[in-house]
């Protein structure tokens, strides 16, 4: 088990094949994916983690990591750093998904703060962001605790081409 980050209640480690049962449950759940265009099939989950975890680890040294409860050893979600398009270009973004049983406990915030600090101190990144939709109040509350400021921008939605607003939360390592 390759632990990347330890927090008071969590381990963040590289995703392993055995994690797809737990992670697949999150991404297939309508409530967990409420702010995404749709839930994901098993194949879509594997493709997602191939791109945002395995390929990203190899290319950038970071990606989505499995979030593991330190006490039970159970995989309860993912959190990590991926490259996402923003108005400033391609930027490192902190994203997070937890199984709903663990919502409201501060675990997403704990994991995201640990990722921000890792980005600054271990990776030497100067700026990290988080992106949310205006409707995703729970993720906004996490991002407000992690980042220093927020900007609103417009982007073209993939697939439909419609214009949507996004909240861009920003932290800079000074």
Establish if 55 belongs to a structural domain: yes
Establish if 76 belongs to a structural domain: yes
Establish if 37 belongs to a structural domain: yes
Q: Tokens 């996402």 belong to which residue?
A: 84
Question: How confident is the model over 6-53, as pLDDT tens digits?
Answer: 999 999 999 999 999 999 999 999 999 999 888 999 999 999 999 999
Question: How confident is the model over 43-64, as pLDDT tens digits?
Answer: 999 999 999 999 999 999 999 9
Range of the domain at 121: 3-126
Contacting residues for 154 by C-beta, under 8 A, at least 6 apart: 163, 164, 165, 166
Establish if 131 belongs to a structural domain: no
pTM for this predicted structure: 0.94
Do residues 171 and 116 touch, judged by C-beta distance below 8 A? yes
Count CB-CB contacts under 10 A for residue 38.
8
Measured at the alpha carbon of residue 157, what is the angle toward residues 153 and 159, in degrees to the nearest 5? 170
Establish if 23 belongs to a structural domain: yes
Gap between the Cα atoms of 109 and 146, Å rounded: 7
| Count: domains in the chain | 1
Question: How confident is the model over 66-85, as pLDDT tens digits?
Answer: 999 999 999 999 999 999 99
Contacting residues for 56 by C-beta, under 8 A, at least 6 apart: 62, 63, 64, 82, 83
**CATH classification at residue 101:** 3.40.630.30
Gap between the Cα atoms of 12 and 100, Å rounded: 18
Establish if 36 belongs to a structural domain: yes
What does the block give as tokens for 57? Answer: 């680890």
Establish if 150 belongs to a structural domain: no
Establish if 161 belongs to a structural domain: no
């Amino acid at each position: 088990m390759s632990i990347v980050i330890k927090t008071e209640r969590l381990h963040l480690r590289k995703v392993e094949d055995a994690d797809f049962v737990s992670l697949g449950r999150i991404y297939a759940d309508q409530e967990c994916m409420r702010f995404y265009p749709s839930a994901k099939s098993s194949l879509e989950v594997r493709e997602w983690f191939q791109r945002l975890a395995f390929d990203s680890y190899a290319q950038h040294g970071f990606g989505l990591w499995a979030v593991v409860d330190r006490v039970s050893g159970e995989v309860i979600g993912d959190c990590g750093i991926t490259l996402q398009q923003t108005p400033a270009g391609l930027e490192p973004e902190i994203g997070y998904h937890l199984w709903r049983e663990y919502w409201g406990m501060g675990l997403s915030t704990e994991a995201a703060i640990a990722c921000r600090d890792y980005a600054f101190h271990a990776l030497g990144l100067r700026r990290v962001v988080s992106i949310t939709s205006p409707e995703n109040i729970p993720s906004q509350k996490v991002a407000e605790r992690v980042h220093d400021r927020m900007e609103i921008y417009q982007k073209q939605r993939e697939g439909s081409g419609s214009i949507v607003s996004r909240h861009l939360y920003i932290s800079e390592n000074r």
